[in-house]
Amino acid sequence: MQEKLPRKDNLIFVLNSGSSSLKFGIYHRGASDEDALLTGSADGVGHSNGTLHVRSSGGKLLVRREGILESQNNALVTIAEEIRKHVHTAPVAVGHRVVHGGPHLLTHQLITPQVLDELRSATHFAPVHIPQALSLIASAQSLFPSAAQFACFDDVFHQTMPEVATHLPIPHRYFNAGVRRYGFHGLSYESLVHHFGAQLPERAIFAHLGNGASLCAIRDRKSIDTTMGLTPTGGIPMGTRSGDLDPGVFVYLLRTEQLGADGMEDLINHQSGLFGLSSGESDVKSLEARAHAKDPQASLALNVFVISVRKAIGAYVALLGGVDLLVFTGGIGEHSEYVRSAVTNGLEFLGLTGDKIKIVPAEEEQQIARHCRSMIGQPL
């Protein structure tokens, strides 16, 4: 028998799409914040070992299903079916995490036909992410036709960066065409700012380390620089993404292997990073086990990743003129003691002692719910 949850009104359904996962949450207006009624995720989308789980607000496992979820849209349909078994009312709003809004969508906003047109025209800025977002939005509109649909963009938080951080060292005409540093993981970083509230010190460095990874320099609660650039491929090496490369690498590959745009994109997004360095593994837990067993490629991959994070921290300490707080978040940042220790070992000379290093879970879904609540005119 299905567990019946208490009836709640003004529900907000949040969707957070990853490369092979779809996280979600149902939120209601609590006394002082957005409270989760249900949370969960579909993992391994498109793979034979796919799973779907749904948990109550208290963490009780309500649903666990295994099997192939062929696509994000298929996962969303399955999630909607399970939600309706436990929740009595339809959501008043659906909030979508959209990685990239392009050069013109610079605020979290209601999704209108004009917004969708603008997203389609910005596809070339994030060809891996925007088509998937558009497809999920269409599915959500069909599944929840009475709900207002909102786009919360991962780059909005970085709109406070100064010109020296947003301009790339190429001819100015390209900046006018939208080729600039945008930065991402903004919803995660916003959630950290909200978490610390008035206790957030003047100078902080946030490190969102997961399959996608970046760091952000924070001054007075605002982003002043971040490692990702025009796309989420830039910055430090990641699970399967290269991070920043000498531009000559691209010229070399174009000349010697005749890689076209699609081939280059596949190489830097899906075959590089930890995966490329280790010859086929992007999971940090697995790499740690291989490194412990004296696998040189696994050790190299982890060391390249760790050193890249350390270098970014050092650069941001210099930019900020010191640092009062370093926060780790994301799957690796939260759960890999090996990576955290390797990154911070020896940084005491920068003032980064234990009391200045924190681990805080990312709360992207809750942050999206906060934005949606505000946009429907029901701020807390």
pLDDT digit of tens for each residue in the chain (380 aa)? 455 555 567 999 999 998 778 999 999 999 899 999 999 999 988 888 889 999 998 899 999 999 888 899 999 999 999 999 999 899 999 999 999 999 999 999 999 999 999 999 999 998 888 999 999 999 999 999 999 999 999 999 999 999 999 999 999 999 999 999 999 999 999 999 999 999 999 999 999 999 999 999 999 999 999 999 999 999 999 999 999 999 999 999 999 999 999 999 999 999 999 999 999 999 999 999 999 999 999 999 999 999 999 999 999 999 999 999 999 999 999 999 999 999 999 999 999 988 999 999 999 999 999 999 999 986 65
- The answer to whether the 12-153 and 197-359 domains have the same CATH topology is yes
Q: What is the structure's pLDDT at 1?
A: 41
CATH class assigned to 12-153: alpha beta
**Which of 152, 150, 24 shows the shortest CA–CA distance to 94?**
150
Q: What is the structure's pLDDT at 116?
A: 98
> Which alpha helices (H) appear in the chain, and where do they start and end?
72-86, 113-121, 130-143, 163-166, 172-176, 186-196, 247-256, 261-270, 273-277, 284-292, 296-320, 330-335, 337-344, 364-375
197-359: CATH topology: Nucleotidyltransferase; domain 5 (3.30.420)
**Which of 74, 41, 69, 97 shows the shortest CA–CA distance to 143?**
74
Structural tokens at position 239: 């699970």
Q: Are strands 61-66 and 109-110 parallel, antiparallel or unpaired?
A: unpaired
Q: What is the structure's pLDDT at 6?
A: 54
Q: Active-site residue among 9, 35, 43, 154? A: 154
Structural tokens at position 106: 């610079």
Structural tokens at position 79: 């999630």
Ranges of each domain in the chain: 12-153, 197-359
Q: What is the structure's pLDDT at 67?
A: 86
Q: What is the pLDDT of residues 233-285, one digit of tens each?
A: 999 999 999 999 999 999 999 999 999 999 999 999 999 999 999 999 999 99
Cβ count within 10 A of residue 28: 22
Q: What is the pTM of this model?
A: 0.95
154 is catalytic: yes
CA 341 to chain centre: 23
